[in-house]
Amino acid sequence: MRIIAGKYRGRVLKAFRGEEIRPTADRVKESLFQILSSRLPSSDVLDLFAGSGALGLEALSRGAERVVFNDVSPESLSVLRANLSLLKVKAEIMERDFSACLMSVAGKFDLIFADPPYRAAYTEEILRLTAMHNLLKEGGLVIVESEREEVPIDGWTVYDARSYGRTKITMFTRSNL
């Protein structure tokens, strides 16, 4: 696992070991960040299920101004901290389950990355809490990675959706902003 482009391009990140871990594939990450390239400079980003921090670190490498990393797993947080240290990056880390994070995180975001465990069906709750706590800036996106086609709930529109084999990326924006 590596940083694909930007300030930290080519840096190899510490990764997880084991069957249960599913980091975002480099080809998916590269395509996603090409789509988001114009939105990244000076952006505020929330990496909701940060894991190793690969998505948030890629955003920082490409010009994001602020990334808040969140994860509930002690193993994930250990790997994330090692990767932040490797890149000599200081960032805000929250150690909460996703719903507690969305209810307590400070500020508004241009991008919210949500890469939950594939078998989890959290998209509706993520969108509901994001809207309830007004966490997106105007035109902001919630980007969900999953195995299934995701559908919007009331107040949300699919901005873009892509399929990469088993991996589906769905980008949601508020439809009433």
* Confidence at residue 117, expressed as pLDDT on a 0 to 100 scale: 83
* Confidence at residue 86, expressed as pLDDT on a 0 to 100 scale: 94
**What CATH number does residue 138 fall under?**
3.40.50.150
* Confidence at residue 19, expressed as pLDDT on a 0 to 100 scale: 42
Number of domains the chain contains: 1
Whether 3 maps to a domain, the answer reads: no
Task: Work out the number of other CB atoms within 10 angstroms of the CB of residue 108.
Answer: 15
Whether 152 maps to a domain, the answer reads: yes
* Confidence at residue 119, expressed as pLDDT on a 0 to 100 scale: 76
**Average pLDDT per 10 consecutive residues for the chain, totaling 177 residues:** 89 70 72 95 97 95 97 94 95 96 97 88 95 96 90 91 91 85
End-to-end CA distance of the chain: 36
Whether 51 maps to a domain, the answer reads: yes
* Confidence at residue 36, expressed as pLDDT on a 0 to 100 scale: 96
Whether 2 maps to a domain, the answer reads: no
Q: Take residue 135 and report the two structure tokens written for it.
A: 């966490």
Comparing CA positions, the residue from 157, 154, 121, 116 lying closest to residue 140 is 157
Listed in sequence order, the residues at least 6 apart from 101 whose beta carbon sits closer than 8 Å to its beta carbon are: 46, 48, 70, 94
Domain that holds residue 147: 29-174
Q: Indicate the DSSP class of residue 39.
A: G
* Confidence at residue 20, expressed as pLDDT on a 0 to 100 scale: 47
Classify each residue of 150-172 as buried b or exposed e, where b means 16 or more C-beta atoms within 10 Å of its C-beta. bebeeebeebeeeeeeebbbbbb
Whether 154 maps to a domain, the answer reads: yes
Whether 166 maps to a domain, the answer reads: yes
The pTM of this model reads: 0.93
* Confidence at residue 15, expressed as pLDDT on a 0 to 100 scale: 82
Whether 89 maps to a domain, the answer reads: yes
Whether 1 maps to a domain, the answer reads: no
Q: Take residue 171 and report the two structure tokens written for it.
A: 């980008």
The DSSP code sequence of 74-118 is HHHHHHHHHHHHHHT---EEE-S-HHHHHHH--S-EEEEEE---T
- Please state the φ and ψ torsions of residue 37, each to the nearest 5 degrees: -55, -40
